[in-house]
Amino acid sequence: MAVLSCSGLKRRFGDVPAVDDVSFTIAEGETYGLLGPNGAGKTTTISMVTGVLERDAGEVVVEGIAMSTRATAAKRLVGYVPQELALYPDLTGRENLRFFASLYGAGRKRVDHVLDVVGLAERADDLAREYSGGMKRRLNVAIGLLHEPRLLVLDEPTAGVDPQSRNQIIENVRALAAQGVAILYTTHYMEEAERLCDRVGIIDSGRLVAEGARRELVERLGERDRISLRLDGDLAHATSALGAMRDVQAVAAHGTGLELVVGDASECLPAVLSAISAAGNVVRSVEVTEPDLETVFLHLTGKALRE
C-alpha cells in the first residue's frame, strides 16, 4: 500500500492555477523527488500534502487516512521540513525540539535521539540564533523527524547549506528511507535528486509533466549514454569492430578518440572494451556520460532547474 497517495490536486490563487490536477503516490521506503523551476507549484503541492494549505480539489491520503476527513490523524503521520528555516531563534535547540515534540506527543528520549542523529547533541543547549546556517538547517530537519513520521516531506532542505551539513542531511534521508519511511523531496540540486530519489516527478506550470525513475525518463525521451574513448593504434579497426556491435548505435572518430552512442553504458562497456582489445588497440582513457535529469528537465520544461 502506498504511504502517500495524492489524486487530482488543484489549487488556484485568484485566477492563477498554482497546481492543476497533480497525482502521484509514494511507496514505503521510496524517495520521490518533486522537481520543477521556481513557481512551478512544488511548494504549493507540498503545502497541500502536509495540510498547511487547503485543496480546491483532490485528495491526500496518508496510510489510508484522508486529509479531508481526518486531518489531525493524517498529520500525525507526516513530518514536515519547510523550505524556510522554521525555528524559534530565542529558544535553544533542545527547547525547539521539545516544543514540537510536545505537539506531536513525542517524549524527551526521542528529542535526545534526534539531536544525536542530526549531530547537534553537543550544542543542544545553545540558543538556535547562535547556530551556524548548516546547524540551523539540521535542526530544521530534526524537527520533522521527531515523531517518527511515516511520510517525511522535505522542501529544499539543503538550500544554502555547507557541504558537510548537506551530506549529513542526505545521509539522514537515506537512512530514513532504508527504515521504510516514505520521502517526498524537492531540491534545486539535480545531483542530489539523482543520488537520493528512486523516482522523480517533474512539475511545470502547476502540472506534473513527467514521472518515473531517471532511466525511464531518459529512455522515454530517447536520450542515450555516451562513451568517449582515447586509443592507441589504428582507429579504423576499432571503429569497424564497434560499429558491428548491436548495442552501439553510432561511432564517430576524431583525432585519437572515438565517440560512441549506446543504450546503457554500464551494460555494454565490458563488451566495448573487449572489442577494442581484439581490434589491437590500447585504451588510454574512458569517459562515460549518461543523460542526467538536467537534460530530461531541460527537454521537458525548456528551462534549467535553477531558473
Partner 1 sequence: MRHALLIAARDLRERARDRTLHVLAIVLPLGLAGIFTLILGDISGDSPMFTFAVADSDGGVVATTFTGEVLERAAASGAIRLRTAASEQEARTLVGDGTATAAFLLPEGLTEAVRTGGAARIEVVGNVDAPTGTDIARSLAQAYADRLLAIRTAVAATVRSGVPTPPAELASAAAAALPQAAVVEDTTGRRQLDAKTQYAAGMAVFFLFFAVQPGVTGLLDERRDGTLARLLAAPVRRTSILAGKLLTGVVVGLVSTALLVVASSVLMGARWGHPAGVALLVVAGVLAATGAMAVVAAIARTSEQAGGWQAITAIVLGALGGAFFPVSQAGGVLDAISLVSPHRWFLRGLADLAGGDVAAVLPPVAVLSFFAALTGGLALLLFRKVVRP
Residues of the shown chain interacting with partner 1 in the complex, contacts defined by CB under 8 A? 47, 50-54, 72-73, 75-76, 78, 80, 82, 84-91, 95, 99-100, 102-104, 143
Q: Which is nearer to partner 1, 32 or 297 (CB)?
A: 32
Q: Which is nearer to partner 1, 54 or 116 (CB)?
A: 54
Q: Closest distance between partner 1 and the C-beta of residue 103, in Å?
A: 5
Q: Closest distance between partner 1 and the C-beta of residue 124, in Å?
A: 16
CA distance 14 to 78: 28
Q: Which is nearer to partner 1, 49 or 262 (CB)?
A: 49
CA distance 153 to 89: 22
Q: Closest distance between partner 1 and the C-beta of residue 264, in Å?
A: 41
Closest CA to 82 of 140, 134, 25: 140
Q: Which is nearer to partner 1, 19 or 210 (CB)?
A: 19
Q: Closest distance between partner 1 and the C-beta of residue 5, in Å?
A: 18
CA distance 142 to 136: 10
Q: Are the CB atoms for 121 and 114 separated by under 8 Å?
A: no
CA 32 to chain CA centroid, nearest Å: 6
Q: Which is nearer to partner 1, 99 or 189 (CB)?
A: 99
Q: Which is nearer to partner 1, 82 or 201 (CB)?
A: 82
Q: Closest distance between partner 1 and the C-beta of residue 43, in Å?
A: 10
Q: Closest distance between partner 1 and the C-beta of residue 60, in Å?
A: 12
CA 216 to chain CA centroid, nearest Å: 15
Q: Which is nearer to partner 1, 85 or 245 (CB)?
A: 85
Q: Closest distance between partner 1 and the C-beta of residue 286, in Å?
A: 47
